[in-house]
Structure 1
Amino acid sequence: MSDQALQVLLVDDDEGLRDLLRDFFQQRGVAFSVLHDAANLARRLNLERPSIVVLDLMMPVVDGLTALKALRASGETIPVIMLTARAEGIDRVLGLELGADDYLAKPFMPMELLARIHAVLRRHSGPQYGLSSSQRTHLAFGPFRLDFASRTLFREDEPVKLTRSDYALLEVFARHPMETLSRTRIVNLLYGPESEITERGIDVPVWRLRRLLEDDPAAPRRIQTVRGVGYMFVPGDDATDTRNCP
């Protein structure tokens, strides 16, 4: 994505940083907007669809981790880069577990943030980048095509037998390609935040799904383990994502 096509939303209570980054991005032709806190982030995203959200960790009223958790629990998949002035590594782990796409410690050079933005968007890019998860009706990857409308997985036009739980898990992954999903988040997306299913309860369903999708389930390529966090669905370079596949 070119700089001119970018739209960045910064959520940070630091006025000096907001002004610095606004000048930097606007000089490069990047559309740039700000929120002073995260309390109304979800509402803002209903009105404005930026390419990416840059979200500060430490803010009054609603902190960045709380805001990120709420976004991901609602099914929002917009790319998010977390910022923090705190040095503890636990911040990074928590952010990634909750669904952050990257993490940048303060202080940083604006050019580094821009590079991180491009890297995150390359991971998310595809023929239909920018469609919300609710707009996608098909996902094709390798020899497979997942039809969300009929809840059917095809392999070279032949339907693949899936249980209801197999399909539900595959749809969670397909709606969040190239995104690190913690076990907790997967459980929340499948069963809701009040579920009594433990986070380890999804490991066996993942194993079953790998047997259907992977050439070698012992060395998975499409459903990869992110050590210490969870899983990432990697459709591959040949993945396509369309609204009106025949």
Structure 2
Amino acid sequence: MIPQTQRILIVDDEPKLRELVKAYLSKEGYAVEAVEDGVSADKYLAENEVDLVILDLMLPGEDGLSIGRRLSQQKNLPIIILSARGEELDRIIGLEMGADDYLSKPFNPRELLARVRSVLRRCGTSDQTSSTELNSSMSFGPFKLDVEKHQLSKGQQDIPLTTGEFTLLRVFLENANRVLNRDTLLEKTKGYDHSPYDRSVDVCVGRLRKKIETDPAKPEYLRTIWGAGYLFTVDE
């Protein structure tokens, strides 16, 4: 049984699906609330804290992408996007706006549960032993990553990271100066079976470069090694 402190907000305008997902996740031990639109989500979040938002793209009024972008920027909440369209463009846009994962409808509740556990594990305390357990911070160039607080800073400037960006940057720093291919990165950051066409790592790399590189088109730290993967370069 997982701790009740892990709270989830579902935002979906389909009553049957909303209640089904709520019941399934509640049975697994999560504290779950479900609302139908962005207005209700804002009202709930103004009075309650949550650990994860499951957000449908196709909502009445304000659409899911707009809501997700706002929540990611204002509250830095982990977000799993749901979409009935299942189009690759929707997936890419969702990931670019800061979502941590994406799931197409219809889906198996067990798959959603695996995604939920993975995202919450990445943004919380991991059971896996890593080199950063002995080091609460990691540095490269003028940047410092506080592992415990999930914060990136450059001097006195704080640089906000989504859960996915933090996890990917941490993996790169733990494997600095080593080429990592996409499959390895997906395994280390997602922790579940993935499609060979999953581009979420590439999207997240693009977002990271905008935050740490002087010129994202000519990266100094996070370089693409064509045909092999990515190399995060840190001075020894």
State the TM-score, normalized to the length of structure 2: 0.60
CA apart distance, 1:140: 3.0
Match of 2:22 in 1: 22
Q: How does 1:1-246 map to 2 (within 5 A)?
A: 2=2, 4-74=4-74, 76-126=75-125, 140-142=136-138, 144=139, 166-167=154-155, 171-173=159-161, 177-178=166-167, 180=204, 183=207, 202-203=215-216, 207=220, 219-220=231-232
Please give the secondary structure, in 1, of the residue aligned with 2:136.
Answer: strand
Seen in structure 2, the aligned counterparts of structure 1 residues 79 and 173 have a Cα distance that, compared at 3 Å, is: closer
CA distance in 2, matches of 1:102, 1:153: 26
Q: Which amino acid aligns with 2:80?
A: I
Asked whether the equivalents of residues 12 and 36 of structure 2 are also in contact (C-alpha less than 8 Å), the reply is yes
Residue 173 of structure 2 aligns with which residue?
A: none
- Please state how far the C-alpha of 1:185 moved relative to its aligned partner: 10
Structure 1 length-normalised TM: 0.58
Q: Percent identity?
A: 32
1:211-245 CA distances to partner (integer Å, 9 max, x unpaired)?
xxxxxxx93178xxxxxxxxxxxxxxxxxxxxxxx
Max Rg structure? 1
Tell me the distance in 1 between the aligned counterparts of 2:144 and 2:6. 34
Is the Cα contact below 8 Å between 1:166 and 1:205 reproduced in 2?
A: no
TM-aligned CA deviation for residue 66 of structure 1? 0.9
Per the alignment, do residues 174 and 40 of structure 1 end up closer, same or farther by CA in structure 2, a change over 3 Å counting?
A: closer
| Aligned AA (1:100) | A
Partner SS, residue 46 of structure 1 = helix
Aligned residues of 1:42 and 1:71 also touching (Cα < 8 A): no
Contact 1:65–1:98 (Cα < 8 Å) also in 2: yes
The unaligned stretches of length 5 or more in structure 2 are 127-134, 146-152, 169-203, 223-229
Structure 1 residue runs without a partner (length 5+): 128-138, 146-150, 155-164, 191-199, 211-217, 223-246
The question of whether the paired residues in 2 share the 8 Å contact of 1:104 and 1:113 is answered with yes
The CA deviation at 1:6 is 2.6
Q: CA deviation at 1:29?
A: 2.7
In 1, the alpha carbon distance for the partners of 2:41 and 2:4 equals: 24
Question: Once the two structures are superposed, what CA deviation does each residue of 1:81-136 show, in whole Å capped at 9, x if it has no partner?
Answer: 00000021101000000000000111112121111001111222248xxxxxxxxx
| SS of equivalent to 1:100 | coil
Deviant stretches of 4+, over 6 Å = none
Residue 44 of structure 1: CA displacement?
A: 2.7
C-alpha distance in 2, partners of 1:174/1:66? 16
Kindly indicate whether the alpha-carbon contact (under 8 Å) linking 1:80 and 1:102 is maintained by their aligned counterparts in 2: yes
Contact 1:101/1:120, CA 8 A, preserved across alignment: yes
Q: Match of 2:85, as an amino acid?
A: R
> How much has 1:37 moved relative to structure 2?
0.4
8 Å CA contact 2:37–2:61 kept in 1: the answer is: yes
Q: Secondary structure at the match of 2:53?
A: strand
Change (3 A) 1:153 1:107: closer
- C-alpha distance in 2, partners of 1:27/1:56? 21
Cα root mean square deviation, aligned:
4.0
Q: Which has the higher contact order (CA 8 A, sep 6+)?
A: 1
3-state SS of the aligned residue for 2:112?
A: helix
**1:172 to partner: Cα distance:** 3.5
